[in-house]
Structure 1
Amino acid sequence: MLSVLTAFVPVTARAGAEPHLAPAGAPEVLYSWQTQRCEDEFIPDSPARAFRRADGEMVLIATHRTNWSLVGPDFHNLRVSCRVMMRSTDYPFGTGRLWIQATYTFDGTKIAALVSQDLSADFKRAGCDPRGEPGRCWVNQILSASSDDMGAHFSLAPPDRRTVATLGDAYPPTAKGRYGVFTTSNIVHRDDGYYMIAATQAWGVQETGNCLFRTSDPMDPGLWRAWDGERFSIDMRSPSTPTPCPRIKGLTSEVRSITYSPRHDRWIAVFAGRHLLPGDEKPVPGFYYATSTDLLNWSRPARITAAPTKPREERLDQVWGYPSLLDPQSKTRNFETVDGEAPVLLFTIAHLDNGRGTMNRDIWYMPLKLD
């Protein structure tokens, strides 16, 4: 299977008109923590993902270490489900904190998931001294999980099969910041494979940036491989032999979602950033997008909207983050395409107290126009 998998190259879309995203209305609240939460831990702390269940219901997740969801017949009728999909504390010490980052389903019953595993609290309890340095003692890996009941409950894969991407499961004494494979984009299907982008950072081992991964079957966690510059050959599952992956050039921020526009034959990556565009007097914080025909070569960033992404610099009472693009009218079960002209930009608003984070976080969405 591996020889077949690694022989494939990234899918190249046909040349088409360059897509353009722009706001088409004022932001609206999708989920309010103050009025809709079932538990205090029901906060959005990841980019939004969605899929359609076998019974036709839509599920939207933007999870925390207590993984929860919104469920409803369609995007505009989503309601909080008080059933926890996966709780980090259900696993023993050493498993870390678990955030569902991406899902994929063929039938709406069995769901595969990519999970961000944060081991920082475990390492600190075991004696790692953060020394007041941002990111120190933080080790992160991407694991696999699955559900057999339409996403009601997710369980990690067995220990010998659960790791999808890692750069080591111990914090190196010489490291100077966070270390490992962190967030992932959603999973998308195109022609011969399934793709996702993962953010990486590992002092002395891995360049900070985004790496492209591919699999022939998202239900099998052992088949994910990273692009090596020529093919998908890099197996990043072993913590004892960390293997770096070449970063995607042009995408300097953590990619929060990738979506395919059939009308334009283009991929669209969405991320938060701070960029100086023509006409700007200085770099502007906000939500941006870039486009690609092959998932490897990306256009220059274009701004969707300015947004307060650096609260301590700007002394604001809220910070916006985790942008993701979703078309409620997507023809795919996993909302991986933009098939209409009116997608939405989903994002989190974190309310601050004297510049510090609180549990008070909401999910908002901004109507967009895709030309």
Structure 2
Amino acid sequence: MTRPIRSFALAVLVLVRFAGPAGAAGEPPFSALTLVGGPQVLFKAGRDACDGVDVPDASTRAFRDASGAVVLFGMHYRNRAFRGPNLDKLKLDCAVVLESAGNADPARYDDRSWITATWTEDGTRIAALIHHEYQANEHSGRCRLKAYMPCWYNTVVAASSMDGGRSFARAEPPVVVAGPPFAQEVGQGRHRGFFNPSNIVGDGRWRYVFASTTGWSEAGRSQDAGVCLFRSDDPADPTRWRAWTGSGFTASFPGPYGRTRAGTDACKPVKPFPTPVGAVVRHRGSGAWIAVFMATAGPGLPEPGFYWTTSRDLLAWDQPRLLLAGSTLYDDPCATPGGLIAYPSLLDPTAKGRNFDDVGDTAILTYVTLRTEGCAITSDRDLLRRPVAIRVWP
């Protein structure tokens, strides 16, 4: 498969403004992640796809259903799931669990949708967060420009399943968990909104998720670009998500089209993330949080690749360290013959939690390789896994 295909992580090509690292450059980390084996192919588009839309295009997210079987997402906007008895024996199920309607009405939030975060308490009722793209350039009269990026309007919206992830439905009327406070025609000329949510993690009564924003200064409001942390005590009620402002979890971003209006608070971006958080997990032995993300070279990041960083509280993170070197979606494909790497995630096959938000001293890194042709990123992609050893100091 060589047909070029858009990739939603490209959104941050216009976002990347490197945050300074949380600690000084020489400060020792309090964790170590080491790749301890070679890659194995989980999915090869030309071999395993159900149709031409089946390409890995997001960081993997997994949960155990009520029977104990594993359900894993990480594909494109015609959403399908991998299923199997465990993380070692997964196969793509060709049944579509959530379709993207290509709806031209931005208030319907049903143009292009990716399942990018899930949470379940019982394996039957699943709350999901959707990376939603309104691609105004594809709808006549909706954008004064013709290109993808200048017309791109992003929101994180809610969906749910009542059958263990066999089918998902958007909330009706639509519920926006994170969206800009202005309509899609405002500020055209650049990518706008919230996008690329991480997985959801649990800590006591609270559930947390990171989401990226390009920031804005429109409609009389201002928001810095970066990665914001959201919290909820009940993901099944998507109206309860609130973002960290620097003093509390009080900021809400329900978007401009519904009855509920956004508050005046802005979320405070969490350093040191220059790009979306691929995944965050909690180390069982120490209680420390470990996050992985992809980035190009910049301050505190000596070369392109996948990085990890560690935290005690999800807000203050240590100096990022390189886990796997390689050109990413934030690098020039013209200068990277052969391909790119993208969409890192961490999963422990022996995770204690139903939502795979914890890891022990070993885990697997899942990620995508994307082949290029000239300057084009193609749909010829593999989903890979590699074993990782984890050590966290007290």
TM > 0.5: yes
Identity %: 34
Residue 332 of structure 1 and its aligned partner are, at CA, apart by 0.7
SS at 2:93 equivalent: strand
Aligned AA (2:161): S
Q: Which residue of 1 aligns with 2:368?
A: 348
Q: Which one of 144, 148, 159 corresponds to residue 145 of structure 1?
A: 159
Aligned AA (2:133): D
State yes or no: 1:330 paired with 2:344: no
Residue 86 of structure 1 and its aligned partner are, at CA, apart by 0.4
Q: Which one of 184, 206, 211 corresponds to residue 198 of structure 1?
A: 211
State yes or no: 1:103 paired with 2:118: yes
CA contact (8 A) 1:19 1:264 kept: no
Q: Which residue of 1 aligns with 2:40?
A: 28
Aligned AA (2:293): F
Q: Which deviations, in whole Å up to 9, do the C-alpha atoms of 1:294-330 show, x marking residues without a partner?
A: 1111111111110221252533221110111111111
Q: Which residue of 2 aligns with 1:305?
A: 324
Residue 122 of structure 1 and its aligned partner are, at CA, apart by 6.0
Q: Which deviations, in whole Å up to 9, do the C-alpha atoms of 1:67-102 show, x marking residues without a partner?
A: 111110111110111111101028675421111110
Q: Which residue of 2 aligns with 1:8?
A: none
Q: Which residue of 1 aligns with 2:302?
A: 283
Q: Which one of 202, 222, 233 corresponds to residue 216 of structure 1?
A: 233
State yes or no: 1:65 paired with 2:84: no
Normalising to structure 2: TM-score of the pair?
0.83
Q: Equivalences for 1:220-259 in 2 at 5 Å? A: 220-239=237-256, 243=264, 244-259=266-281
Q: For residues 277 and 223 of structure 1, do their structure 2 counterparts lie closer, same or farther at Cα, with a shift above 3 Å needed? A: closer
Q: Which deviations, in whole Å up to 9, do the C-alpha atoms of 1:1-23 show, x marking residues without a partner?
A: xxxxxxxxxxxxxxxx9221011
1-structure distance, mates of 2:297, 2:287: 26
State yes or no: 1:359 paired with 2:372: no
CA contact (8 A) 1:194 1:216 kept: yes
2-structure distance, mates of 1:318, 1:145: 33
Instruction: Please provide the CA RMSD for this pair.
Output: 2.1
Q: Which runs of 5+ in 1 are unaligned?
A: 1-16
1-structure distance, mates of 2:293, 2:376: 22
Q: Which one of 251, 261, 264 corresponds to residue 286 of structure 2?
A: 264
Normalising to structure 1: TM-score of the pair?
0.88
CA contact (8 A) 1:74 1:328 kept: yes
1-structure distance, mates of 2:306, 2:377: 20
Q: Which deviations, in whole Å up to 9, do the C-alpha atoms of 1:253-287 show, x marking residues without a partner?
A: 21111100121221111100134699xxx931100
2-structure distance, mates of 1:186, 1:362: 21
Aligned AA (1:215): S
Q: For residues 105 and 90 of structure 1, do their structure 2 counterparts lie closer, same or farther at Cα, with a shift above 3 Å needed? A: farther
Q: Equivalences for 1:154-173 in 2 at 5 Å? A: 154-159=168-173, 162-168=175-181, 170-173=183-186
SS at 1:222 equivalent: helix
Q: For residues 202 and 131 of structure 1, do their structure 2 counterparts lie closer, same or farther at Cα, with a shift above 3 Å needed? A: farther
Residue 181 of structure 1 and its aligned partner are, at CA, apart by 0.5
Q: Which residue of 2 aligns with 1:207?
A: 224
Q: Which residue of 2 aligns with 1:3?
A: none
Q: Which residue of 2 aligns with 1:368?
A: 388
2-structure distance, mates of 1:196, 1:74: 24
Q: For residues 317 and 104 of structure 1, do their structure 2 counterparts lie closer, same or farther at Cα, with a shift above 3 Å needed? A: same
Q: Answer with 84-93 or 37-46: which moved more.
A: 84-93
Q: Which residue of 2 aligns with 1:13?
A: none
Q: Answer with 354-363 or 76-85: which moved more.
A: 354-363
2-structure distance, mates of 1:347, 1:250: 21
Q: Which runs of 5+ in 2 are unaligned?
A: 1-28
SS at 1:136 equivalent: helix
Which aligned runs of 4 or more in structure 1 are off by greater than 6 angstroms?
Answer: none
Q: Which residue of 1 aligns with 2:55?
A: 43
CA contact (8 A) 2:294 2:342 kept: yes
1-structure distance, mates of 2:373, 2:242: 42
2-structure distance, mates of 1:169, 1:100: 24
Q: For residues 191 and 173 of structure 1, do their structure 2 counterparts lie closer, same or farther at Cα, with a shift above 3 Å needed? A: closer
Q: Which one of 342, 345, 364 corresponds to residue 321 of structure 1?
A: 342
Q: Answer with 356-365 or 297-306: which moved more.
A: 356-365
